Structure 1
Amino acid sequence: MFFIAYMHHEIAVRIRDFNVRLEKILKWGETALKLQNNMQPRRQVSSGLQMKTSQLVEPNLVGKEILHACRSLVNLVLEHKDKKAYKLGIVGTGGIGKTTLAQKIYNDDQVKKVFTKKAWICVSQKYSQMYSEVDVLKEVLRNFGVHREQGETKTELQKKLAETIENESFFLVLDDVWHPEVWLDVLRTPLDAAATGIVIVTTRHDSVAVSIGVDHMHRVELMSTQVGWELLWRSMNINEEREVKNLKDIGMEIVSKCGGLPLAIKLIGRVLTTKDKTENEWRKLIKNSAWSRTDLQPELRGALYVLYKRMVTNF
């Protein structure tokens, strides 16, 4: 019995240590990718909800596919700017660039001129577990520049939101939505008081976009290998391809290992900044066993786990 209890304790300690290290890698990744340029610092609201707002995306770290899609979707937004509540869905797997695309649209100069009220809300997977309906309403009101009182109920906040937006135009981004209720049960009714409005929903799941009732669904496709190669060397703070021209073939292999996911390519680019620009060094990274781990959650596989190993073992 003592041995079993000891083993349970050891397992618990290892899990705790892994969680601590994982938290460090996520924080390091945000810093390395300069995500502070993509969003304002997270703001703490009443019950522990943390939401993000959007600033300008770093132009050198945006693939050509994203720029092309942005122009197309900005035109779509402007075409429907006089609708009551036109909903646009941006759908794709995690790390593929949905948020980056939404940020580009949100910060577009033409879009900024059209709408009187703008809000960016990141709800994420923890909605309904940790986040409350009151939190969401408070954050939208904060984005709209409206003061909230302590202890206000969902009904009171919905009324305040409806009064704020009445006869106005709004542009709302709901980023990383896992549950359609954030729109259907919380925001849809009060925002109906607006004269016009655009809602952009980013989600990994088609079913969420369909449940919300988007009028147009845009699917973000995997990044091409050629564009991924450019993103890789730009993520290394390199201004000219000629600096790594001799490494293009192996660089394309690395991009393929990243599965066409922009986030993974950026993360690996940050790892490569710490290594010599030689084929031997880059080949070591490709051959690292971390790429082939299959006993992890999908979010921890591939590039993210390579980065994790880089942090804890300094390979």
Structure 2
Amino acid sequence: MQSHNVISILKFASNLDRINRQDKDKDKDKDNGVASNRVQQREIQGPVDGNTNMGSSNVEISQKLTHELISQDTKTEVFRWSDRSVDETKVHGLDDKVKSLQRLLVPNNDDSGFRAIGIVGMRGIGKTTLCQVIFKKQEVKNHFLPRIWVCLSKQPKDDLDNKKETVKRMLECLGVEESVIKSADNNHGLEGLLFALRLQLLGKRYLIILDDVWCKDDHDMEFYSLLDRDENCCKKLAYGLPKGCGGTVIVTSRAEELAKKIVGEDKLHRLLPILDPESCWKIFKDSAEEGDIKLSIGLENLKVKIIEKCYGLPLLAKMMGKIASENLRERTVVPQSQQQS
């Protein structure tokens, strides 16, 4: 049975190789005179000066692999949703980033200034997980009240006005009754919703995580822009976030330009792929061994190959582990016909 398990993992790895080769062939067709895109990078430890090439084939391949794995795993459209819950024992490779972000959130001095922090990076890099871990830290709990987690991922029943939907979700997370939210919307529209949000947060040292922020157009981008400055405009999100009591907002987004507009370029931090191969292996193993599944000894021989295919992306390692687990589970189920014989 063990050999069957290894064969199934090898088949899985070969599928990744196929995707990899296809993407490399596509990249060759695009390389004739096309310059690589460059974007500013800032790790969570702090801003980093200079430019770093993020248009490499490895990064593009990792993004496409992630999309491919998600497509294989879900045959119908799935609307992403996140919450504050996380199993910290299964979080690997983020320790230094968690400590750095915690130092930003809980300063040694009694700072009452408003903070807006942006965390950006490609899909599956660990933006949400990082915020989930920091959200549960006792020092953060002691420092902020209230603390709310607001997932802004698109949902099928969203308000057609993305700006209103954002504020409504924030009010819901603050415990405001649905009837009050509807009344504010019906009677005063966006301005009424923002005023209700402002009243809820006035005089409080709040922490708000806005996870997976996106926008449809320039009007949405303008609504989110400059959280720490534009408090006077009653039609912008900044109006609903009173300043002067140490309130903090953390924004996660795959859209770097949007995040820059929201928090300012100097407050923008980029998450990079995990460099420690053992962290990727641990993520893969945790995912593969969920339930009663145990990895075979032969799988260790594929460790280096699997780590290479992760490209430092936690989500990719997790998805690979999940697929490996399903393959292993299928191999361990004895067919009914064999049981009867």
Pairwise TM-score range, normalised by the shorter structure: 0.5 to 0.7
Looking at structure 1, the residues matched to 312 and 273 of structure 2 have their Cα atoms a distance apart, in angstroms, of 5
Equivalent position of 1:142 in the other structure: 172
Looking at structure 2, the residues matched to 182 and 26 of structure 1 have their Cα atoms a distance apart, in angstroms, of 35
Q: Greater CA deviation, 151-160 or 263-272?
A: 151-160
The aligned runs of 1:125-204 (5 Å cut-off) are 130-147=160-177, 148-150=180-182, 151-152=186-187, 153-179=189-215, 180-184=221-225, 186-193=236-243, 195-204=245-254
Give the secondary-structure state (helix, strand or coil) at the position aligned to 1:167.
coil
Query: How far off is 1:68 after superposition?
Result: 2.2
Pick the aligned partner of 2:74 from 10, 14, 25. Answer: 25
Give the secondary-structure state (helix, strand or coil) at the position aligned to 1:57.
coil
Pick the aligned partner of 1:223 from 254, 266, 274. Answer: 274
Equivalent position of 2:83 in the other structure: 54
**Does the aligned pair in 2 maintain the 1:125–1:177 contact within 8 Å?**
no
Equivalent position of 1:310 in the other structure: none
Give the secondary-structure state (helix, strand or coil) at the position aligned to 2:128.
helix
Query: How far off is 1:58 after superposition?
Result: 1.5
1:109-140 deviations in Å (ceiling 9; x for gaps)? 21111112222222236899945322221211
Cα gap change, 1:197 to 1:124, in 2 (>3 Å): same
**Does the aligned pair in 2 maintain the 1:117–1:170 contact within 8 Å?**
yes
Query: How far off is 1:55 after superposition?
Result: 2.7
Looking at structure 2, the residues matched to 159 and 51 of structure 1 have their Cα atoms a distance apart, in angstroms, of 29
Cα gap change, 1:129 to 1:136, in 2 (>3 Å): closer
Pick the aligned partner of 1:90 from 119, 125, 131. Answer: 119
Equivalent position of 2:153 in the other structure: 124
**Does the aligned pair in 2 maintain the 1:96–1:220 contact within 8 Å?**
yes
* 2:307 corresponds to 1:251: no
1:3-56 deviations in Å (ceiling 9; x for gaps)? xxxxxxxxxxxxxxxxxx96971789x9xxxxxxxxxxxxxxxxxxx8956233
Query: How far off is 1:276 after superposition?
Result: 4.1
Give the secondary-structure state (helix, strand or coil) at the position aligned to 1:75.
helix
AA partner of residue 208 (structure 1): L
* 2:105 corresponds to 1:77: yes
Equivalent position of 1:210 in the other structure: 260
Query: How far off is 1:243 after superposition?
Result: 5.5
Looking at structure 2, the residues matched to 77 and 114 of structure 1 have their Cα atoms a distance apart, in angstroms, of 9
The aligned runs of 1:287-302 (5 Å cut-off) are none
Give the secondary-structure state (helix, strand or coil) at the position aligned to 1:72.
helix
State the percentage of identical aligned residues.
26
Query: How far off is 1:92 after superposition?
Result: 0.9
Equivalent position of 1:101 in the other structure: 130
**Does the aligned pair in 2 maintain the 1:118–1:143 contact within 8 Å?**
no
1:66-87 deviations in Å (ceiling 9; x for gaps)? 1221122112110187343211
Equivalent position of 2:16 in the other structure: none
Equivalent position of 1:10 in the other structure: none
Equivalent position of 1:114 in the other structure: 143
Cα gap change, 1:252 to 1:23, in 2 (>3 Å): closer
* RCO comparison, higher one (Cα < 8 Å, 6+): 2
The gaps in structure 1 that reach 5 residues or longer are 1-20, 31-49, 282-315
Count of aligned positions: 235
The gaps in structure 2 that reach 5 residues or longer are 1-69, 216-220, 226-234, 332-341
Cα gap change, 1:120 to 1:197, in 2 (>3 Å): same
Give the secondary-structure state (helix, strand or coil) at the position aligned to 1:199.
strand
* 2:325 corresponds to 1:273: yes
Give the secondary-structure state (helix, strand or coil) at the position aligned to 1:196.
coil
The aligned runs of 1:2-41 (5 Å cut-off) are 25=74
**Does the aligned pair in 1 maintain the 2:288–2:325 contact within 8 Å?**
yes
1:184-211 deviations in Å (ceiling 9; x for gaps)? 3532112125622111111123322221
Q: CA RMSD in A?
A: 3.4
